Amino acid sequence: MIYRQLKSNIKTKLNTEKAIILLGARQVGKTTLLKNLFQDKNDVLWLNADEEDVRNLFDQASSTRLKAIFGNAKVIVVDEAQRIPNVGLRFKLITDEIPDVQLVASGSSAFELANNLNEPLTGRKWEFQMYPISFSEMVKHHGMLAENRMIPHRLLYGYYPEIVNNPGNEISFLKQLTDSFLYKDILMLEQIKKSETIITLLKALAYQIGNQVSSNELAQICKIDSKTIDKYLSLLEKSFIIFRLNSFSRNIRNELKKSKKIYFYDLGIRNALINNFSQIENRQDLGALWENFLIAERLKQNQYLEKWRNTYFWRNTEQNEIDYIEEYNDQLYAYEFKWNPNAKARSTKSFIKGYPDAQVKVIHKDNFEEFLLD
């Protein structure tokens, strides 16, 4: 059993008279985490909203009836909660009228669930985001040396639990996961009518990791307007498939001020989209894979450790670029990513000239552990 960092985070928020909402993409381990969290408790009622009779329990239910349904249970876990009609109002009733019960909810359609809960449960919930297994979690599981040896493998196949736990079957499992993302979580939503459009968009994004992304260029590739592209990008972000970095600028004349980069939360999904699982020694996109890997893993670690930081990349018109910037406590921390420890980081001088107080560091394959284990 790989220990997930969110377990201790959630533990600290139990019994605070607020609902626990666990969001994340399909197959990242949400249900497994909750089962592990409550495995020693006898007063837990598990409800799977995939089942029609469970959904009917919440239909027009009063607080009195819900108390009778819950009985002596002190923890109510609702899986696939997005399937419950008016789920936000139903959960609001529980948190307001039955405060001695700890409500915990998760769902495979994170976007739908978050969308339906945000307004009704404002001030009544603790929300957690779960990602594929992290580098830090794997180091704790089998040690630094073992996980460092697996980095080339992770750059190809990613960190989804099913992938990590089934060596030798990575490609077939990733193909299934990719279809699950596309057809169950996104294409079934009303916002997207043509499946080929979102697939084209995702493939275009997969080829452009590490590069600046233009909504207008993506619109030309997908043959739709740029406003629709922006809507799709937002939906893909809310579905925990991609995330963006915006450009950093404090109005120095030659800085790019409105650019963005798009990365994937998991490189296995990215590589499956473009059907490229060539070993890293033979890849032209190794630098982009390494950059995506480090930024995604840093994002996971910051989230799990509740380190709230503004994140950016930086570039100027002379094509000088800093891969990743964190801003907190009025301080800038800038990072250049190089796979080869001997590679030169030529852009750092230009950045330091504009921001002399910034701390700048080059992260490569021989020193990246401290960046991801912070």
pLDDT tens for the chain, residues 1 to 374: 899 999 999 999 999 999 999 998 889 999 999 999 999 889 999 999 999 999 998 888 889 999 999 999 999 999 989 889 889 999 999 999 999 999 999 987 776 787 788 888 999 999 999 999 999 999 999 999 999 999 999 999 999 999 999 999 999 999 988 887 766 667 666 556 667 888 899 999 999 999 999 999 999 999 999 998 998 898 888 888 999 999 988 766 665 567 899 999 999 999 999 999 999 999 999 999 999 999 999 999 999 999 999 999 998 888 789 999 999 999 999 999 999 998 887 778 888 988 999 999 999 999 999 999 96
Determine the pLDDT at residue 26: 86
Residue 119 has a pLDDT of 85
**Locus of tokens 């909402």:** 21
Cα 265 to Cα 25: distance, rounded to the nearest angstrom? 10
Q: Which residues make beta-bridge pairs with 315? A: 321
pLDDT for 77-123, tens place per residue?
Answer: 999 898 898 899 999 999 999 999 999 999 877 767 877 888 889 99
pLDDT for position 251: 65
pLDDT of residue 191: 55
Return the pLDDT at 259.
85
* Cα 32 versus chain centre, distance: 17
Tell me, what's the pLDDT at 320? 85
**pLDDT on residue 344:** 83
Q: Are 150 and 267 in contact (CB under 8 A)?
A: no
Q: Residue-wise over 304-343: b if at least 16 C-beta within 10 A, else e? A: beeeeeebbbbbbeeebbbbbbbeeeeebebbbbbbeeee
Q: Is 42 exposed, middle or buried (0-12, 13-18, 19+ CB in 10 A)?
A: exposed
Tell me the pTM. 0.93
Rounded Cα distance between 127 and 226, Å, is 31
How far is Cα 121 from Cα 373, in angstroms, rounded to an integer? 33
Q: What does the alpha-carbon distance between residue 12 and residue 14 come to, in Å, rounded to a whole number?
A: 6
For residue 343, the model assigns a pLDDT of 87
The answer to whether the beta carbons of residues 79 and 48 sit under 8 Å apart is yes
The phi, psi pair for 186, rounded to 5°, reads -120, -55
Domains and CATH numbers, the chain: 6-130 (3.40.50.300), 135-373 (no CATH)
